[in-house]
Structure 1
């Protein structure tokens, strides 16, 4: 009678593959987690978290059904475009963190009452502009600020991401997050200088001309818009 091989020996390859697959999965998960932790410690990662927090705080007041389609479409359009451009330029896949931030800023400034595709197209144009309008390795203009300057004259901007619909505590939250971000990237002196010059100029205009229109600059939503611009777009 032919002798049967021990079952233990036949089970070893299967067990080994199972252990190897489990170890590989754990290593992959650990690597992804490590990469994400490193990213969210960078200035871009921190700004992504801050903008996400502001969007979540503002969304209930503006309506999730209005802001989320525009926000997600903008991120998708800008992210995919930049992903392809980075692939062509660098020969490898890279996370388009800059495009995501640009899209979030654009979507959080434009009115949520327009067509959902407007922030998407605007964000894509902003991403494309940073590869066209360059001097050596640096952008000449902030991509988001550049395209929003055009929209300021052609369509509505509500700056809903700056929390203009919230009471005074919204300004406190915006200021606290903005100061933290500006300090983290060593731009706090520039932010203070900009805000001082901005409000000093309008104060001077109030003394020279009619103070009534100028007074709007110190109220919502213009106040929040100025803070948002200074902290996150300057």
Structure 2
């Protein structure tokens, strides 16, 4: 039988194991909004869980079997309409509270089909997924493979394409997963990334070498980004 001491160590180990959860260590405005939704929904869930456990402990103690009541048959009562209405109303209110930021953030961050209405202030990068690597094309016509370079504190618009099967573009510390579809171009924005180096992945199984479909993202200052584009141009790509 597992001792109580070992039982208490299980949640501690789980918390320690999740200390470096990339999506919760967001390094962009887009990622921070998504992390907020995770923490917000988690907080609401913990409030509900706490109330349930408190009521559970209270009822277990209050209606426990004792020498005085062990021979007493509890009275059969009908449902309490006030309590039923209260629980239902609270559940609807909690869902409504969760729905407001969820709908707002997901609506603003959802990828859209390519159109002519593109912000001139944004930096545009065409991303092409193919078995089993990523190609990045920049506004000056230069191209990199499995290495993405973007400026910090800008809005980055990715033009997502696939040349074969469905892929999923994902930089965990910058933003969530976005499907890359053959025959369609989707626009996905990441706002104000922070300077740093981040790992990117294909999050959709796309073939036998799917695990190798990774890339590195370097977020640099705007000055360094302009210099990098010039160097790439001088080298001819």
TM over 0.5: no
Greater gyration radius: 2
- State the TM-score, normalizing by the size of structure 2: 0.28
Structure number with greater CO (CA < 8 Å, separation at least 6) is 2
- State the TM-score, normalizing by the size of structure 1: 0.29
Which structure has greater strand proportion? 2
Which structure has greater helix proportion? 1
